[in-house]
Amino acid sequence: MTNPSVLSVASAVPPHRVSQDEAKEFANALFSETHRDLGRLMPLFDNVAVEGRNFCVPYEWFERDHTFPERNALYVEHALDLSEKAARRALDKAGAAPENVGALFFVSTTGISTPSVDSYLLPRLGLSEHARRVPVWGLGCSAGAGGLALATDRARLYPDKLVLLVAVELSGLTFQRNDLSKANLVSTALFADGAAAVVVGEGDGPELLGASTVTWRGTENVMGWEVVETGLKVQLSKSVPNVVRERVRDDLARAAADLGLDLADLRHFVLHPGGAKVLDAFEEVLGLSHGALVHPRSVLREHGNMSSATVLFILERFLESGEYVPGDLGVLSAMGPGFSAEHVFFAC
């Protein structure tokens, strides 16, 4: 049984651009009446190392209250449009005919739809009505890596058909104006909207060697949603960098060994940037120089944290850079609610 490859990766962002200075000004006005120590907290807008982000709604939308149904209707509309753009670009880059796609994996955690958004994508993209649909909800930031792992398994079992993975997150639509917590302030500084798509199958591209997942016990409260009347309210702990320092290296070493690989042989790290401090922690535990994670840092700087789609943006940028030689080993990793980590190993 041969290993499938990444045949293409493509991304898409919505049209409304917000600079970090604009976001900082907005947050300062919103939180100033309730946070006496706001002056101490505001530097986080600079420390997260984000310069700007894109959203599916204009800046003014965030200045008003919105109901959950209103938010979710916008999610379905814009998730579908953005997913279609990313998917079409990925299929075009791979030179893939829609009828050759045997399965569509769709990952997202920032809205709800039944039927799921992937069902609307089938006719839009011209995919077969018999294509296997696999919607995945709830993995959050780790879903891009987890979805790629699932797509790899499918492509390995059915090598005669391509697999299309689509990740879309509209984190901006979850913003809660009346949530004056520090977690919401961090989210205002960090999260954004975006979509990415990957075509997996037999052909030229990085070979997908295998994957691993772990869900650490006692960490369920690190990240997630609280469902409130107005939608999805962010739950976010400051302990994520500590989780990286305490657990990730050992887990990566174990996962590599399970595939007959040595962690020391990995040359490329396509890592989800939960934030600048998370990337600092990754560089520390992996023995990399500060700033070595160039592509994760550049995507974070230009696009913010787009949850599941972010690591696929980084994969796209890595592949376009050409900064590798045949045979180089690497890993694509992301962490998310659970608290979990997903790793996908590849050979260039």
- Annotated catalytic sites, by residue? 141
Determine the Cα–Cα distance for residues 238 and 252; give it in Å rounded to an integer.
22
- Please give the radius of gyration of the chain, using alpha carbons only, rounded to the nearest integer: 19
Sheet containing 5-12: which strands, arranged edge to edge?
A: 132-136, 101-107, 162-170, 193-201, 5-12, 207-215, 340-347, 329-336, 266-271
Specify whether the CB–CB gap between 63 and 25 falls below 8 A: no
Query: E strands along 256-315, which residues?
Result: 266-271
Q: DSSP states of 58-77 as a string? A: -GGGGGS---HHHHHHHHHH
- In single-letter form, the type of residue at position 46 comes to D
How does DSSP classify residue 64? Answer: S
Q: Which two tokens mark 118?
A: 């992937």
Torsion of CA 253, 258, 259, 264, to 10 degrees: 20
* CA–CA gap between residue 53 and residue 217 (Å, rounded): 33
Helix (H) or strand (E) holding 178: none
User: What residue has token string 């650490």?
Assistant: 216
DSSP assigned state of 288: P
Phi, psi of 31 (to 5 degrees): -95, -10
